[in-house]
């Protein structure tokens, strides 16, 4: 690091001599050091859907269009965004035609054409390829190259929102020439291609060490000759969030660090030193409780936490859920664990504004007395040890989450709030990689939910909540039958909800879509499937003062505009 | 001595086979069947192929034999190929599920930083611990001994995540002397890069050295004390031997016997025991790799790594036993 | 130490001299050992009876008093959620000491047994040392993960969350740390077995188990003592590493290692959060070490009476 900093200083000195025109020169600003404390494993978003991997790849490979910081789709490789008005989207909503920007070259100097776009579709949908973004191509029947600069995507049914494929960090275009031998089962053994993809983005991979570090250098064939300002990028992994914050804000060894899940007082003390700041952007991330509506009793054996095993002894009563929600003082949780990177929320769809419900705002003002009254009314009365009982059942909750300092703090706070209510609470934390790992043989995954409630954060890509809200359909309940493959952790099952989701899938009118989204959100919150807690900043990163051009973007990869990043003089 | 050594080596092979069986059985025992460890996103066809490559459809003993074949024949051949440049034909490779890259390549990539940081720290630890242990024992309850005890007990009882954080705070944040992060892409080509390499190694090596030295110096001191009171020491002194000769030749030689065991047994831990320090300084060595593998349920990676640890442990046990024979001729082995 | 309550005057009555009485008399002359014993005793008394005097619940959150410094109400300040640090250090000490001492005892007893048997009885040497190699070669972390995954639910159901995890952790730490002791003890026994006094004992027909108990064991006590001292510290630290990996006690269940781990990020803001538990671990380890030293000297017949 010492040497790179010297180089940087030398570069800066040379620039200040050269005068004002200096910053419009590719590679003039030396190296930028970025820290992702969870290291990048692979640079192919089609084989790994981890945020870190998608973002690491977004520096190199690009989609046709990206979301900007306001959630609007802006063209990258495309010449413009196809719409009904400009004729890009067919009137019957069954096809979309993208015009590509002319003159774009891959980093190896060859031309980027519509054939690469078609290949990317074939690559992801090939048998045996294990493509993790296959859902983005749901309903796509054909992708064809009309001419080298025109791609037409055809759908099996009318698509009110036809922009899922080839947009955002999850939909970059792969080079057909490089990946032609990696289709299908071969995808698994193409480590050279997966580590060193050829792209159209501002940087190319120079050195890749899996789960450790990626070094990029400026792409000589990038479409804007004045960009990127940095000659090299180092994307280092390892350590934890607090250490990453220190490396940017205190020791200044790094210019940018991702995902600052650190207690606010620590961040405040660090930013007070004046080396840098926290940049935040709010997307759709909500820290929430999944309520287990099925019975997690271990005596049930294989039927544990499945609907076949029976319903939960007390969490299916919406009054209990409402009481649990009312007892939580969310502002205390925000102040203790999130600071400026969190806001109180009562909705599972927290953004954008036109989709946000106001019907659940009662939860913003905690009211222990009302919560107690609700439980009394539901027949739960305090027993001799202060824990409420009804029909011989104790109001005792096993509360699990992933291991992380902020979450354990929240657990402790909520445990106290609930115990004040007369609800016994037992805490458990599971290593994040096990918890979110989805390994069907582990009893600790969030799909298994061998607990009464669990807390974690989830979000959706882009601004449209349809796919997200449809994950609470009956058919997506994880169970042994589908190898615990499902997103409906709450085991929420309501035919009316499923019908409303189907209606949303057919509605094109934006106002009507918002109205449906709000209704679905309210069904989940009021039906007791979830208890929303905190609307979290999607981007909460530490940035050194000397780094310019960073625009926090909650709707796409954080590194979406790295071509514009530069050294502030 | 030679026959003894040969016999011990001959014995190491069955030991390793039993250990490999146990590792295999442990991973078998882990809940569910091993194929379910493959990430859910891997489609059924690919699962079938992986299962076939590992022979999971076969009965247990066949599967185990195939596993042995992969570890004892295919991967060593790959290694020979890699080192010599010969082409010995295509063979299946043990591939990590997280990165889709051959496990052996991942290990090779991480070996340099692990040896540099953890290995050097162990070497320094031993070099510091032996003199401290010897002097502390010789000058028992002196000021030096008391300080030595305090130092080694602090080094041992304070968790490395705390010493590491403290060192970063003092030397990176306040003084700004050393970086708090280890750059694995740094290549030593000239004086400046050499200095940078030394600078980035100072803090992690210090943390680990402190921990290692603490443990070994306690054993050295205790062993020296035992021997200093022996009759042969009195005899040697009575013979009129110089004190230096008595202590550094007679006593030291005998005291080293148990200490050598401790040192030899600690060597394999170089490869496995620095998980926390590696994480704090972002060294990203083999310890970090093992954790990534365990957390990500990357069983090919975990199997390979743990088996390599096992080989190293058996090897260093062997070395410890042979050193025993050299240091203490009274221990007869026939 | 159990004799600590005996009045000193009893010595003047010149009761029959036994080995352990000699050891105790010698132990008392060792200043470091007495100080160590006093400190260790104080720590134990504090963590056992402290919570009856300082009655704040260690899990009680008082968010308004978060990150507070030293005060009468909070003698060691509070953490970032307003929990009283003193109460947490006391509660953490109970767990940490219990884990440390039980895991150490388990590992020492087992290690010494295996080491002595394998060093003294030639026929057992091969199999037992291969067993030791095997345990040494077993990768600790995957083993821990598998054991904890397999048995956590069963034990939790049988003994409740805390006792269940406690037994699991003690067992897991004990069963994975006896091998070094076994190897060292075996090495010592191998050498001792060829020594003149053992040969002499054997030549007069002393039975093997008496040779082991009277002649071998007292002579290998010192490496065992060192291993025991380090064992307490390493058990306490292993426990914190397990918490670090999310496999330890529940997060609201303090231990010294966990308190340090949770507090390390706050070291600039509230340094006492790591200072006190750190000091507690170090004092415990140091005092046990000095006691070990004293015991070691007291057990050495050549040192006695000097």
The pLDDT tens digits for B12-42 are: 777 788 878 877 777 666 544 444 444 444 4
CA of A439 to nearest chain B CA: how many angstroms apart? 6
Q: What is the pLDDT of residue C83?
A: 85
Q: Is C69 on the interface with A (CB under 8 A)?
A: no
The answer to whether the Cβ–Cβ distance between A239 and B279 falls below 8 Å is: yes
| Best residue of C87, C154, C252 to probe chain A, by most A CBs closer than 10 Å | C252
Q: Ranked by mean pLDDT, which of A296-305, A356-365, B108-117 comes out on top? A: A356-365
Q: Which of A198-212, A240-254, B76-90 has the lowest mean pLDDT?
A: B76-90
Tell me which chain A residue has its CA closest to the CA of residue C263.
A405
Spatial separation of the C-alpha atoms in residues C94 and C98, rounded to whole Å = 6
Q: What is the pLDDT of residue B288?
A: 84
The answer to whether the Cβ–Cβ distance between A412 and C81 falls below 8 Å is: yes
pLDDT higher than threshold 80 for residue B115: yes
ipTM reported for the complex surpasses 0.85? no
**Residue range A264-289: mean pLDDT, rounded:** 90
CA of B37 to nearest chain A CA: how many angstroms apart? 6
C44-87 pLDDT, tens digit per residue, is 999 988 888 888 888 777 777 777 778 877 888 888 888 888 88
Spatial separation of the C-alpha atoms in residues B130 and B142, rounded to whole Å = 17
pLDDT higher than threshold 80 for residue A405: no
Q: Which residues pair with B102 in a beta bridge?
A: B95
Spatial separation of the C-alpha atoms in residues A442 and A457, rounded to whole Å = 20
Q: What is the pLDDT of residue C156?
A: 66
The answer to whether the Cβ–Cβ distance between C139 and B331 falls below 8 Å is: no
Cα separations in angstroms, C70 against B55, C79, C283: 63, 11, 21
Tell me which chain C residue has its CA closest to the CA of residue A402.
C246
Q: Which of A129-133, A421-425, B164-168 has the lowest mean pLDDT?
A: A129-133
Across the interface, of C138, C191, C226, the residue whose CB is closest to B257 is C191
Residue C86 CA from chain centroid, whole number: 22
Q: Which residue has the higher pLDDT, A202 or A438?
A: A202
DSSP string, A315-330: TT-HHHHHHHHHH--H
Chain B residues in contact with C32 (beta carbon < 8 A): 141
Which ranges of chain C does DSSP label H, i.e. alpha helix?
Answer: 19-29, 31-53, 85-120, 122-137, 140-175, 179-193, 196-203, 208-210, 217-244, 256-263, 272-299
Average pLDDT, chain A: 87
Q: What is the pLDDT of residue A104?
A: 92
A135-186 pLDDT, tens digit per residue, is 788 789 999 999 999 999 999 988 888 888 899 888 899 999 999 988 877 7
CA of B134 to nearest chain A CA: how many angstroms apart? 38
Query: B44: pLDDT confidence band, cut at 50, 70 and 90?
Result: very low
A166 contacts: CB under 8 Å, gap ≥ 6: A63, A64, A65, A98, A117, A120, A136, A153, A173
HSE-CB of C24 using CA atoms within 13 angstroms: 14
Query: B254: pLDDT confidence band, cut at 50, 70 and 90?
Result: confident
Q: What is the pLDDT of residue A232?
A: 94
Dihedral angle of Cα A311, A312, A314, A315, to the nearest 10 degrees: -110
**Residue range B282-290: mean pLDDT, rounded:** 86
Across the interface, of A127, A211, A215, the residue whose CB is closest to B292 is A211
pLDDT higher than threshold 80 for residue A330: yes
Tell me which chain A residue has its CA closest to the CA of residue B106.
A210
B293-304 pLDDT, tens digit per residue, is 776 667 778 778
Chain A residues in contact with B42 (beta carbon < 8 A): 130
**Residue range A546-558: mean pLDDT, rounded:** 90
The answer to whether the Cβ–Cβ distance between B162 and C136 falls below 8 Å is: no
Query: B89: pLDDT confidence band, cut at 50, 70 and 90?
Result: low
Across the interface, of C143, C230, C245, the residue whose CB is closest to B26 is C143
Q: Which residue has the higher pLDDT, B324 or B139?
A: B139
pLDDT higher than threshold 70 for residue B140: yes
The answer to whether the Cβ–Cβ distance between C63 and A413 falls below 8 Å is: yes
Spatial separation of the C-alpha atoms in residues A282 and A262, rounded to whole Å = 17
C-contacting chains (≥3 CB pairs under 8 Å): A, B
Q: What is the pLDDT of residue B224?
A: 85
Share of chain A above pLDDT 70, in %: 94
pLDDT higher than threshold 50 for residue A28: yes
Spatial separation of the C-alpha atoms in residues C83 and C94, rounded to whole Å = 17
pLDDT higher than threshold 50 for residue A22: no
Quick one: how many helices (H) and strands (E) in chain B? 16, 0
The answer to whether the Cβ–Cβ distance between C247 and A263 falls below 8 Å is: no
Across the interface, of B30, B154, B222, the residue whose CB is closest to C226 is B222
Q: What is the pLDDT of residue A14?
A: 41
Dihedral angle of Cα B25, B26, B29, B35, to the nearest 10 degrees: -80
Spatial separation of the C-alpha atoms in residues B110 and A193, rounded to whole Å = 21
With 0-12 / 13-18 / 19 or more C-beta atoms within 10 angstroms meaning exposed / middle / buried, residue A114 is buried
CA of C25 to nearest chain A CA: how many angstroms apart? 50
Residue B38 CA from chain centroid, whole number: 29
Three-state DSSP class for residue C192: helix
Chain C residues in contact with A431 (beta carbon < 8 A): 245-247
The answer to whether the Cβ–Cβ distance between C246 and A411 falls below 8 Å is: no
Query: A11: pLDDT confidence band, cut at 50, 70 and 90?
Result: very low
Spatial separation of the C-alpha atoms in residues C303 and A523, rounded to whole Å = 80
Low-confidence ranges of chain C (pLDDT < 50): 1-11, 305-306
Q: Is C149 on the interface with A (CB under 8 A)?
A: yes
Interface A–C counts its CB contacts (< 8 A) at 69
Tell me which chain A residue has its CA closest to the CA of residue B183.
A1
Q: Which of A356-365, A430-439, C54-63, C261-270 has the lowest mean pLDDT?
A: A430-439
pLDDT higher than threshold 80 for residue B71: no
Spatial separation of the C-alpha atoms in residues C104 and C176, rounded to whole Å = 11
Q: What is the pLDDT of residue B253?
A: 80
pLDDT higher than threshold 80 for residue A434: no
**Residue range A75-83: mean pLDDT, rounded:** 92
Across the interface, of B219, B328, B332, the residue whose CB is closest to C226 is B219
Dihedral angle of Cα A193, A198, A204, A208, to the nearest 10 degrees: 0
| Best residue of B30, B152, B162 to probe chain C, by most C CBs closer than 10 Å | B162
Spatial separation of the C-alpha atoms in residues B177 and A414, rounded to whole Å = 43
Across the interface, of A298, A332, A429, the residue whose CB is closest to C246 is A429
CA of A195 to nearest chain C CA: how many angstroms apart? 28
Q: Is C141 on the interface with A (CB under 8 A)?
A: no
Q: What is the pLDDT of residue C207?
A: 85
Tell me which chain A residue has its CA closest to the CA of residue C266.
A266
Q: Is A49 on the interface with B (CB under 8 A)?
A: yes
**Residue range B181-193: mean pLDDT, rounded:** 86
Q: What is the pLDDT of residue C150?
A: 64
Rounded to the nearest 5 degrees, what angle is found at the Cα of A176, between the Cα atoms of A170 and A180? 110
The answer to whether the Cβ–Cβ distance between B192 and A6 falls below 8 Å is: yes
Across the interface, of A41, A128, A213, the residue whose CB is closest to B46 is A128
pLDDT higher than threshold 50 for residue B135: yes
A369 contacts: CB under 8 Å, gap ≥ 6: none
Chain B residues in contact with A191 (beta carbon < 8 A): 99-102, 105
Query: B334: pLDDT confidence band, cut at 50, 70 and 90?
Result: very low
Spatial separation of the C-alpha atoms in residues A313 and A310, rounded to whole Å = 9
**Residue range A458-473: mean pLDDT, rounded:** 84
| Best residue of A428, A432, A446 to probe chain C, by most C CBs closer than 10 Å | A428
Which helix (H) or strand (E) is A449 found in, with range? Answer: none
Chain B residues in contact with A189 (beta carbon < 8 A): 95, 100
CA of C152 to nearest chain A CA: how many angstroms apart? 10
C257-281 pLDDT, tens digit per residue, is 888 888 888 888 888 888 888 888 8
Query: B248: pLDDT confidence band, cut at 50, 70 and 90?
Result: confident
Question: Is the bond into A228 cis (omega within 30 degrees of 0)?
Answer: yes
A497-527 pLDDT, tens digit per residue, is 999 999 998 888 888 999 999 999 999 999 9
The pTM for the full model equals: 0.81
Which helix (H) or strand (E) is A152 found in, with range? Answer: strand A150-155
- Would you give the DSSP letter of residue C194? T
How many residues make up chain B in this entry?
334
C97 contacts: CB under 8 Å, gap ≥ 6: C43, C44, C47, C236, C284
Quick one: which of C118, C133, C161 has its CA closest to C250? C161
CA of B122 to nearest chain A CA: how many angstroms apart? 22
Q: What is the pLDDT of residue C149?
A: 62
Q: What is the pLDDT of residue A189?
A: 76
Across the interface, of C137, C194, C261, the residue whose CB is closest to B161 is C261
Contact B189, B228 (CB under 8 A): no
């Amino acid at each position: 690091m010492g040497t790179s900093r010297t180089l940087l200083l030398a570069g800066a000195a040379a620039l200040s001599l050269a005068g004002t025109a200096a910053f419009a020169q590719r590679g003039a600003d030396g190296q930028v050091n970025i820290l992702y404390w969870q290291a990048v494993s692979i640079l192919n978003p089609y084989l790994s859907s981890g945020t870190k991997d998608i973002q690491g790849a977004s520096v190199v490979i690009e989609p046709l269009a990206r979301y900007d910081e306001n959630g609007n789709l802006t063209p990258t490789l495309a010449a413009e965004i196809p719409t009904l008005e400009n004729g890009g989207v067919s009137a019957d909503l069954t096809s979309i035609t993208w015009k590509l920007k002319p003159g774009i070259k891959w980093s190896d100097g060859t031309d980027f054409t519509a054939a690469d776009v078609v290949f990317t579709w074939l690559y992801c949908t090939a048998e045996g390829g294990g493509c993790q973004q296959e859902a983005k191509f749901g309903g796509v029947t054909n992708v064809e190259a009309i001419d080298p600069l025109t791609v037409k995507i055809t759908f099996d049914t009318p698509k009110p929102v036809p922009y899922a494929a080839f947009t955002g960090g999850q939909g970059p275009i792969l080079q057909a020439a490089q990946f032609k031998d990696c289709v299908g089962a071969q995808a698994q053994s193409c480590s050279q291609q997966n580590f060193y993809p050829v792209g159209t983005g501002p940087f190319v991979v120079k050195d890749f060490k899996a789960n450790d570090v990626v070094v990029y250098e400026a792409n000589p064939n990038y479409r804007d000759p004045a960009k990127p300002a940095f000659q090299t990028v180092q994307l280092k992994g390892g350590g934890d969030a607090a250490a990453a914050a220190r490396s940017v804000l205190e020791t200044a060894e790094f210019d940018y660090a991702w995902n600052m899940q650190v207690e606010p007082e620590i961040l405040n003390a660090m930013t007070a030193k004046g080396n840098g700041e926290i940049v935040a952007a709010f997307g759709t991330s909500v820290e929430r409780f999944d309520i287990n509506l099925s019975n997690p009793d271990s005596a049930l054996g294989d039927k544990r936490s499945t609907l076949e095993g029976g319903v939960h002894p007390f969490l299916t009563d919406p009054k209990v859920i409402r009481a649990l929600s009312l007892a939580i003082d969310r502002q205390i949780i925000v102040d203790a664990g999130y600071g400026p990177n969190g806001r109180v929320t009562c909705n599972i769809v927290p953004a954008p504004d036109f989709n946000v419900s106001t019907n659940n705002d009662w939860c913003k003002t905690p009211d222990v007395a009302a919560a107690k009254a609700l439980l009394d009314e539901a027949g739960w009365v305090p027993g001799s040890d202060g824990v409420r009982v009804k029909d011989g059942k104790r109001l005792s909750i096993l509360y699990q989450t992933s291991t992380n300092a902020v979450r354990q703090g929240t657990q402790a706070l909520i445990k106290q709030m609930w115990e004040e209510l007369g609800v016994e609470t037992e805490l458990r934390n599971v290593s994040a990689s096990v918890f979110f790992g989805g390994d069907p043989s582990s009893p600790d995954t969030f799909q298994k939910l061998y607990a009464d409630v669990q807390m974690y954060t989830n979000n959706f890509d882009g601004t449209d909540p349809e796919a997200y809200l449809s994950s609470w359909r009956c058919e997506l309940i994880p169970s042994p039958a589908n190898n615990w493959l499902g997103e409906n952790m709450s085991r929420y099952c309501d035919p009316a909800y499923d019908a409303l989701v189907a209606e949303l899938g057919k509605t094109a009118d934006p106002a009507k879509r918002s109205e449906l989204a709000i209704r679905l959100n309210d069904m989940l919150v009021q039906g007791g499937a979830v208890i929303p807690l905190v609307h979290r900043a999607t981007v909460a990163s530490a940035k050194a003062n000397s780094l310019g051009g960073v625009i926090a973007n909650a709707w796409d990869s954080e590194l979406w505009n790295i071509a514009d990043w530069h050294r502030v003089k | 001595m030679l026959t003894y050594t040969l016999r011990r080596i001959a014995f190491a092979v069955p030991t390793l086979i039993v250990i490999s069986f146990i590792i295999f059985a442990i991973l078998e025992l882990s809940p569910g069947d091993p194929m379910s460890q493959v990430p859910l996103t891997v489609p059924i066809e690919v699962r079938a192929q992986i299962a076939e490559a590992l022979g999971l459809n076969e009965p247990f003993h066949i599967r185990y034999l195939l596993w042995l074949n992969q570890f004892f024949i295919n991967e060593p051949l790959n290694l020979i190929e890699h080192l010599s440049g010969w082409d010995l034909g295509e063979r299946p490779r043990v591939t990590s599920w997280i990165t889709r890259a051959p496990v052996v390549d991942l290990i090779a990539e991480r070996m340099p930083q692990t040896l540099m940081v953890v290995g050097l720290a162990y070497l320094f630890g031993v070099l510091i611990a032996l003199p401290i242990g010897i002097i502390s024992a010789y000058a028992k309850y002196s000021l030096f001994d008391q300080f030595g005890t305090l130092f080694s007990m602090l080094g041992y009882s304070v968790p490395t995540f705390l010493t590491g954080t403290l060192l970063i705070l003092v030397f990176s944040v306040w003084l700004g002397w050393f970086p708090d992060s280890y750059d694995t892409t740094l290549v030593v080509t000239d004086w400046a890069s050499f200095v940078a390499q030394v600078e980035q190694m100072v803090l992690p090596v210090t943390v680990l050295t402190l921990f290692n030295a603490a443990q070994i110096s306690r054993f050295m001191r205790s062993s020296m004390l035992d021997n200093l009171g022996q009759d042969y020491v009195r005899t040697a002194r009575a013979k009129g031997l110089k004190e230096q000769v008595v202590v550094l030749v007679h006593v030291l030689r005998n005291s080293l016997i148990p200490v050598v065991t401790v040192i030899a047994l600690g060597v394999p831990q170089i490869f496995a025991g620095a998980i926390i320090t590696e994480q704090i300084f972002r060294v990203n060595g083999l310890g970090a790799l093992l954790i990534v593998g365990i957390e990500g349920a990357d069983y090919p990676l975990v199997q390979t790594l743990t088996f390599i640890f096992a080989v190293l442990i058996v090897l260093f046990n062997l070395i410890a036993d042979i050193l025993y024979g050299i240091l203490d001729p009274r221990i007869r082995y026939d | 130490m159990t004799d600590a309550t005996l009045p000193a005057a009893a010595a003047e009555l010149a009761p029959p001299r036994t080995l352990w009485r000699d050891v105790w008399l010698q132990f008392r002359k060792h200043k470091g050992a007495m100080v160590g014993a006093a400190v260790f005793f104080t720590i134990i008394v504090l963590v056992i009876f402290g919570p009856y005097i300082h009655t704040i619940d260690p899990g009680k959150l008082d968010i308004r008093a978060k990150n507070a410094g030293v005060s009468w109400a909070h003698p060691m300040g509070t953490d970032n959620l307003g929990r009283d640090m003193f109460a947490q250090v006391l509660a953490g000490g109970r767990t940490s000491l219990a884990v440390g001492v039980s895991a150490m005892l388990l590992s020492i007893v087992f290690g010494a047994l295996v080491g002595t048997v394998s060093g003294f009885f030639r026929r057992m040497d091969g199999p037992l040392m291969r067993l030791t190699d095997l345990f040494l070669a077993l990768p600790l972390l995957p083993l821990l993960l598998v054991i904890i995954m397999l048995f956590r639910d069963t034990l939790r159901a049988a003994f409740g969350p805390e006792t269940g995890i406690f037994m699991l952790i003690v067992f897991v730490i004990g069963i994975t740390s006896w091998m070094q002791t076994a190897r060292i003890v075996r090495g010592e026994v191998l050498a001792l077995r060829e020594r003149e006094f053992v040969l002499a004992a054997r030549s007069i027909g002393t039975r093997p188990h008496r040779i082991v108990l009277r002649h071998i064991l007292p002579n290998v006590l010192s490496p065992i003592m060192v291993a025991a001292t380090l064992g307490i510290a390493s058990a306490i630290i292993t426990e914190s590493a397990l918490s670090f990996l999310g496999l330890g006690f529940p997060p609201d269940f303090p231990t010294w290692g966990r308190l340090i781990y949770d507090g390390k990020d706050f070291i600039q803001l509230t340094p006492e959060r790591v200072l006190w538990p750190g000091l507690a671990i170090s004092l415990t380890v140091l005092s046990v070490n000095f006691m070990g030293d004293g015991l070691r000297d007291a057990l050495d017949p050549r040192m006695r009476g000097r």
